[in-house]
Structure 1
Amino acid sequence: MLIDYQEYNRQAIKAVPRHFWVGQWRIDYLPFASPETAHKPPLLVIGGAFQNFTSYKYCVERIYEDFPVILVDLPSLGSNDQVAPHLGMEDLADLLHEFVARMELPQVHLMGLSLGSAIASTFAYKYPALTGKMIVAGIVVRPRKSWRMLVEESVRVLEEGRMDEFSQAVVLYLVNYHRIRETGITPTARRLFYRQMKALSDNERERYKINGRRLLSVEGLLGYPECETLVTTGEFDSFTLPWENADFASKCPNATFALIKGADHLPQLEKREVSLDLFSAFLRGAPVEKVDGVDVFPRGTYDRLERRRSERLLPCNSRGRVTSESRIGDQFRFDQRVKVVDINFFGCLVKLEQPGFSTAEHSRDCTLHLVSPDMKLELLVFDYDEGGYLRCLFKHGNIAEAERFAGLLNDPQYFIEPKADKAGVRKIYG
């Protein structure tokens, strides 16, 4: 069956999606093309966890000038409400292949943002003859342990029905609160994101858990596509770190890696025009280096990217305590004084006064008590060594408290930057 394109208008993108069935699985799609471009390979935009088709309105409007655009929601993704817990990334890529083959599309370009990036990459690797160019944003090769713990924690909180905490945590995980001034994400936008998460239906909550488990099941990508690829994210992405995106680009022989200045994990929202200029230039074959607001990195330089989400600060008062949430009688099961070696908005390195810690028992149930400022921060401990050092993430689940903490980090009364060494290079602690 040949795909039946429709011309784009702002009402058309709100239409009820068309359906394509592969056995029991439904693929929702909307295809747009002008008569002048309908003969060209289309851009397939693969929906992610939270985006619906209207989320891509501006992308469609820009790309439509040069290429057909097909918006696709695979089972459990975007607004496709099919619950598909047993479909992995490769299964979803195979469903997409069935769609492309049955629509008799000889070649397609691909775009996958965040969760959709792994599906796009898998399709491009398995079906190179069908793939023209590919754009991925927010992709990782092998998820780091700390990232896995954040995703696991969000799924756990959701399963326990703690919707207010879950909703605030998702905002705090995906929005880099340490760089709000640079990214310009307004309080209104953050409140709307929070309300969207809190208003998830039972079906949407179930699909979030499914997609979280899909991400956690990824031990590594199936392979690395050889097609012409643009890998990008925001320079302040604190969820899928820039160096992780660059690591993927380094393994793709025809990849270009670019950072969108002043954005974090949601550059298509925060820096929409820059993102669209970048996507359009890449697809048209124009030099992406000439796009304003973008840093394009030469191959061979990716390993120079900073691996931390933010430089650590030194507390003016390093005294603190780490306690567990669980007790034996009126005593914490774990309670020890610590020295806070370094800290930032996302986590800290602490040294126990007396070495001895069980990550099996306490990696998810600890709290750091700071003396000055007087504050408690819940922890995910992702590493412990026998010298007594704990490497920790903060389980931010309260926006007001997180904003207060972010403000305190900028107060030299409590925290200071590390001094430069004799060579004039900042010492990175931990």
Structure 2
Amino acid sequence: MVSETVRTARHWGFTYRVRVRAGDESALAPILLLGGAFQDMYSWRRHEELLVRHADVVTVDLPGWGAADHLPADVGMDFLAETAAHALDQVGLRRVNLVGCSYGSLIAHRFAQRYPERVVRLALNGVATGLTSEEQRTLEGLVRRLPDCDGREFAEAVTELLSPVLPGRPVRRGEVIRQVLTARLSGLTADARRKFASNTMRLCTDVLLEPHPAPAVPTVVVSGAQDTFTTPEHGHRLALVYPHAACLTIGEADHLLLLQRDVEFCELIVAHFRGGRTDELPFCVPCPRGHEEDR
């Protein structure tokens, strides 16, 4: 039987929420999930059902997400990582297996840098090691247009950025997931739009991902093979820096890998958290060999 606990807490004046789903049999350390710009602590339900068989699952609405307080753009990733640690303290967890996806990968990376002793193993997906000037202009343009564009126009622009339709580059359930994402983003509340704007501008002004010090924790960095937003090259560059990292891609997936290949993604992270050989999973392709020599 699975139990659920939700707590509201405050850190440096900002209210946030933390949620724990605990199963009867937890062979692994608890799993903390940190998601993307449009994910709240209930966005992981499908994944939770697969993961809670192996470990307790922790999700959060950090400041700037979901029902938590708005977080100004000038408050950076260090604060978000610190609040994630504060959230674990509230539910009595010292060490976790940590998963960061998309925006959450930046927070998870910073968490592992600051609190390596609290991370058993780390999994990162949709990593951006930096923004090109074109990407920065695109994101800033979305924020500028947000007050004047209708919900549908905004939703289609974001969906095209994250999961474009490209000839010869198919993704699993691509059209269905694009439709679902577009429908969800079309109905964003004014509060959600404000949070999106601030979180996006933080990407354009904060140091996006400072690789050093590289956390010396066992890590897997995984990318969708068709991801044009945070390309597999970003993940490969980060894996080169980490002292204990595997770098993998999953086919028929782009930046929305988490939704397109959800079962495989959960299988991958469970294998990693068990200490297994993730590069031997049939749906994974290891990054080119040789980064041990290049390190």
Do they fold alike, i.e. is TM over 0.5? yes
Q: Whole-Å Cα distance in 2 between the matches of residues 254 and 186 of structure 1?
A: 33
1:250 aligns with 240
1:263 aligns with 253
The question of whether the paired residues in 2 share the 8 Å contact of 1:250 and 1:299 is answered with no
The question of whether the paired residues in 2 share the 8 Å contact of 1:139 and 1:240 is answered with yes
Corresponding position: 1:26 with 2:15: yes
1:92 aligns with 80
Give the match's secondary structure for 1:159.
Answer: coil
Q: Whole-Å Cα distance in 1 between the matches of residues 219 and 201 of structure 2?
A: 27
The question of whether the paired residues in 2 share the 8 Å contact of 1:176 and 1:236 is answered with no
Q: Whole-Å Cα distance in 2 between the matches of residues 186 and 96 of structure 1?
A: 32
Q: Whole-Å Cα distance in 2 between the matches of residues 146 and 107 of structure 1?
A: 39
Regions of 4+ moved over 4 Å: none
Give the match's secondary structure for 2:54.
Answer: coil
Gap runs ≥5 in structure 1? 1-6, 303-430
The one-letter amino acid paired with 2:180 is L
Q: Deviations over 1:133-170 (max 9, x none)?
A: 11111112222222212211211111334433222111
The one-letter amino acid paired with 1:29 is V
The one-letter amino acid paired with 2:15 is R
Greater Rg over alpha carbons, structure: 1
Q: Deviations over 1:339-363 (max 9, x none)?
A: xxxxxxxxxxxxxxxxxxxxxxxxx
The one-letter amino acid paired with 1:167 is A
The one-letter amino acid paired with 1:80 is A
Q: Whole-Å Cα distance in 2 between the matches of residues 23 and 301 of structure 1?
A: 41
Gap runs ≥5 in structure 2? none
Corresponding position: 1:290 with 2:277: no
From 171, 195, 198, give the equivalent of 1:210.
198
Q: Give the number of the structure with larger relative contact order, counting CA–CA contacts within 8 Å between residues 6 or more apart.
A: 2
Q: TM-score, normalised by structure 2?
A: 0.90
The question of whether the paired residues in 2 share the 8 Å contact of 1:81 and 1:204 is answered with no
CA RMSD of aligned residues (A): 2.4
Q: Whole-Å Cα distance in 2 between the matches of residues 53 and 177 of structure 1?
A: 28
The one-letter amino acid paired with 2:245 is A
Matches for 1:317-336 after TM superposition, within 5 Å = none
The one-letter amino acid paired with 2:18 is Y
Q: Deviations over 1:306-352 (max 9, x none)?
A: xxxxxxxxxxxxxxxxxxxxxxxxxxxxxxxxxxxxxxxxxxxxxxx
The one-letter amino acid paired with 1:265 is H
The question of whether the paired residues in 1 share the 8 Å contact of 2:17 and 2:68 is answered with no
2:101 aligns with 113
The structure with the greater share of residues assigned to strand is 1
Q: Deviations over 1:405-430 (max 9, x none)?
A: xxxxxxxxxxxxxxxxxxxxxxxxxx
Deviates more, 1:217-226 or 1:286-295: 217-226
2:270 aligns with 280
Q: Whole-Å Cα distance in 2 between the matches of residues 84 and 53 of structure 1?
A: 16
2:162 aligns with 174
From 172, 193, 197, give the equivalent of 2:181.
193
2:142 aligns with 154
Q: Whole-Å Cα distance in 2 between the matches of residues 131 and 143 of structure 1?
A: 27
The question of whether the paired residues in 2 share the 8 Å contact of 1:274 and 1:292 is answered with no
Give the match's secondary structure for 2:43.
Answer: helix
Q: CA deviation at 1:68?
A: 1.4
From 109, 134, 139, give the equivalent of 2:122.
134
Q: Whole-Å Cα distance in 2 between the matches of residues 162 and 288 of structure 1?
A: 43
Give the match's secondary structure for 1:183.
Answer: coil
Q: CA deviation at 1:99?
A: 2.4
Q: Whole-Å Cα distance in 2 between the matches of residues 49 and 179 of structure 1?
A: 27
Paired residues, what number?
291
Q: Whole-Å Cα distance in 1 between the matches of residues 179 and 39 of structure 2?
A: 17
The question of whether the paired residues in 1 share the 8 Å contact of 2:18 and 2:87 is answered with no
Q: Whole-Å Cα distance in 2 between the matches of residues 33 and 54 of structure 1?
A: 15
1:8 aligns with 2
Q: Whole-Å Cα distance in 1 between the matches of residues 209 and 21 of structure 2?
A: 31
CA gap of 1:186–1:119, structure 2 versus 1, over 3 A, is closer
CA gap of 1:180–1:154, structure 2 versus 1, over 3 A, is farther
CA gap of 1:183–1:283, structure 2 versus 1, over 3 A, is same
Q: CA deviation at 1:299?
A: 4.9
From 215, 227, 234, give the equivalent of 2:217.
227
CA gap of 1:301–1:262, structure 2 versus 1, over 3 A, is farther
1:48 aligns with 36
Q: Whole-Å Cα distance in 2 between the matches of residues 143 and 18 of structure 1?
A: 35
The one-letter amino acid paired with 1:57 is R
Q: Deviations over 1:231-256 (max 9, x none)?
A: 11100001111101211111111111
Give the match's secondary structure for 1:146.
Answer: helix
The one-letter amino acid paired with 1:24 is G
The question of whether the paired residues in 1 share the 8 Å contact of 2:22 and 2:56 is answered with yes
